[in-house]
Structures are given as C-alpha cells and as structure tokens.
C-alpha cells in the first residue's frame, strides 16, 4: 500500500485514509484459463458472480460479448433505486494468451472512491486439465470515509464472488 494521504476529522476522531487500497482474492476454477478469461471479460456474467452487482449496460458494446481493450460498460450495483451506485469500467488489458484482464474507472464512485481497478490474472493449473487459478485484485483510492469503512464489506463481497459465485456460475455455463 502507498503512504497515507489524507487526514480527516470524523466525529472528533482523526482518521487516516490510505491511498491505493488493494483487496486480493484467489480461487481455482474447473475450466481452462482461456475459458475463464472469456467468461470474466463478458459483462453479462458479472451480476451472476458479484453479489452487489445488479446490472450492466452499454450503448457501445454488446454486454453478452467479451470486452476488448478500450470497450466501456456501466455497472449498476448497491440497492437501486434506493442507493443506485454506478461505475463506468473501461477495459485496459485483455490478453487471454497471457491470462491478463483489467478494467479501470478513473472516476470510480463520485465522492466515494477514485482510480478503481479490477485486475484478473488467470493461469492454467499445471498438471490439471481444464482447471485454472484466478487471482483477482480490486484496487481503489478512497476519497471519503465511506470508502475506507466499506473495505471489510468489499473484501467479503469479493471473497463470495470469487470463491463461491464465480465457480458456481462457471459450472452452470459448462453444463
């Protein structure tokens, strides 16, 4: 993690917010790295693997097709319409041969977090046919205490997504 950046007063207490929060998660999947890459690059799959994701939409990219570098998608999550949160993701890296997939949102969640990233490293398991590891890291810079205090919730959401919902969704897509 990078050095501390912002000192805020919250309810009379000093709170140190940290730049560059990173939340790593790892899982194994019962598919090849190439198939996992395609699945994860396809936005219409996201609501089935992320508990907080409600929908994805795009005026420029078909949501049922894998995203390529430069493609953008809007993801709605939270509790819409009460608390509709939206992030515009742009695909930064989509390299199935090297198992790399990354999405970036410089604006992130307005007044909450900025410079948000989803980074996937997908590698075939040696000696295991049709099996791969997925290392997922979510990164963001908090701009509000909400983003800092949401970190444990995001860690839980990511762990549920990567370790439970993603393997279940992958198994459903291949059966």
pLDDT of 80-131, one tens digit each?
A: 556 678 999 999 999 999 999 999 999 998 888 999 999 999 999 988 888 9
Q: What pLDDT was estimated at residue 78?
A: 73
| Helices within 42-87 (DSSP H only) | 46-49
CA distance 158 to 137: 9
Q: Is 2 left (phi over 0), alpha (psi -120 to 50) or beta?
A: beta
Q: Model confidence over 149-160: pLDDT tens digits?
A: 889 988 999 999
Q: What is the reported pTM?
A: 0.86
């Amino acid at each position: 993690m990078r050095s501390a950046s912002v000192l805020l007063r919250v309810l009379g207490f000093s709170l140190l917010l940290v730049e560059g929060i990173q939340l790593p998660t790892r899982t194994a999947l019962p598919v090849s790295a190439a198939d996992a890459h395609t699945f994860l690059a396809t936005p219409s799959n996201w609501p089935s693997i992320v508990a907080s994701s409600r929908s994805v939409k795009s005026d420029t990219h078909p949501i049922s097709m894998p995203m390529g570098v430069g493609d953008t998608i809007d993801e709605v999550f939270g509790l819409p319409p009460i608390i509709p949160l939206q992030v515009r993701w742009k695909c930064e890296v989509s390299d199935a041969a090297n198992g790399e997939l990354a999405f970036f949102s410089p604006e992130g969640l307005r007044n909450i977090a900025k410079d948000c990233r989803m980074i996937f490293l997908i590698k075939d398991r040696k000696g295991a046919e049709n099996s791969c590891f997925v290392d997922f890291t979510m990164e963001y810079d908090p701009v509000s205490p909400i983003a800092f205090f949401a970190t444990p919730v995001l860690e839980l959401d990511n762990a549920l997504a990567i370790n439970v919902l993603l393997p279940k969704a992958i198994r459903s897509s291949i059966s």
